[in-house]
């Protein structure tokens, strides 16, 4: 059984630590998880009018379709001003509409990983994001929590993870998430 996991990265920066963490997790993921980064940087800023008028931008429609068919959702995000970066909040909002047709619906297994060079590990962003995901009925893994701080020293110049204790922790996170996906999505697939 392989699960299709849509990975949303909350930074557009070329040298993003969050994207490096996403790539490290892709390499470490057990065979049951297929992680796929779904790009969010080209989604027009959400405005309800095109939805109400039945003319949503093609990028919104493609994003909604991609998220909607995922078995699980992984959010890897920086903290901006103690909250969720606007690009990720926009992706949350775009995917949640039109009303009654949220791409996030259906009780998908989720994971929230916050990443920062700072010491607090993006705690504020992590929990603000969880607030939206509660409403959207994404079933986020609660333990282990993943507030990844001090990440500036984790990667070499080629973007490879070089910190061994970080590698161990990321392995713990991805293995726990694989078990969580099996528990939530696996039981659902058996019923289907
Ligand atoms: C930040 N940064 C930041 N860091 C943090 O730990 N808490 C915060 O509240 C903020 N606020 C913040 C606001 C804005 C507008 C920017 C641009 C940055 C710093 C941030 O963690 C740092 O730039 C990371 O490197 C961003 O993640 P990526 O781009 O490396 O993935």
Distance, in Å, from the CA atom of 61 to the CA atom of 59, rounded to the nearest integer, reads 5
Average pLDDT, the chain: 97
Ligand 1: centre distance to CA 147 (Å) = 13
Range of the domain at 53: 3-191
Ligand 1: centre distance to CA 190 (Å) = 41
Ligand 1: centre distance to CA 17 (Å) = 10
Distance, in Å, from the CA atom of 26 to the CA atom of 86, rounded to the nearest integer, reads 24
Distance, in Å, from the CA atom of 126 to the CA atom of 134, rounded to the nearest integer, reads 12
Ligand 1 within 6 A of 46 CB? no
Task: State ipTM.
Answer: 0.99
Ligand 1 within 6 A of 80 CB? yes
- Shortest CA distance to 177 belongs to which of 126, 141, 146? 141
Q: Residue 187: pLDDT band by 50, 70, 90 thresholds? A: confident
Ligand 1 within 6 A of 116 CB? yes
- Shortest CA distance to 173 belongs to which of 10, 19, 21? 21
Task: Give the model's pLDDT for residue 192.
Answer: 67
Ligand 1 within 6 A of 17 CB? yes
The residue whose CA is least distant from atom 14 of ligand 1 is 80
CATH number at residue 143: 3.40.50.360
- Which is the closest atom of ligand 1 to the Cα of 121? 6
**pTM of the prediction?**
0.97
**pLDDT tens profile 61-77:** 999 999 999 999 999 99
Strands 33-37 and 3-9, how do they pair? Answer: parallel
Number of domains in the chain: 1
Task: Give the model's pLDDT for residue 186.
Answer: 86
93-112 burial string, b = 16+ CB within 10 Å, else e?
Answer: bbbbbeeeebbbeeebbbbb
- Which is the closest atom of ligand 1 to the Cα of 21? 31
Residue 189 has pLDDT above 80, yes or no: no
Ligand 1 within 6 A of 50 CB? no
Under 8 Å between Cβ of 4 and 69: yes
Distance, in Å, from the CA atom of 173 to the CA atom of 111, rounded to the nearest integer, reads 9
Ligand 1: centre distance to CA 83 (Å) = 10
């Amino acid at each position: 059984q392989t699960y299709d996991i849509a990975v949303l990265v909350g930074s557009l920066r070329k040298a993003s630590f969050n994207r490096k963490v996403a790539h490290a997790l892709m390499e470490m993921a057990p065979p049951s998880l297929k992680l796929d980064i779904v790009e969010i940087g080209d989604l027009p800023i959400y405005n309800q009018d095109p939805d109400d008028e039945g003319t949503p931008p093609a990028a919104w429609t493609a994003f909604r379709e991609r998220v909607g068919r995922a078995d699980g959702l992984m959010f890897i995000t920086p903290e901006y001003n103690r909250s969720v970066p606007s690009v990720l909040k926009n992706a949350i909002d775009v995917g949640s509409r039109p009303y009654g047709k949220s791409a996030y619906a259906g009780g998908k297994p989720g994971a929230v990983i916050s990443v920062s060079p700072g010491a607090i590990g993006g705690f504020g962003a992590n929990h603000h994001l969880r607030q939206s995901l509660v409403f959207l009925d994404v079933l986020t893994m609660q333990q282990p929590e993943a507030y990844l701080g001090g990440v500036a020293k984790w990667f070499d110049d080629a973007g490879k993870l070089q910190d061994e204790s970080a590698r161990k922790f990321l392995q713990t996170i991805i293995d726990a998430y694989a078990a969580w996906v099996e528990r939530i999505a696996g039981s659902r697939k058996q019923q289907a």
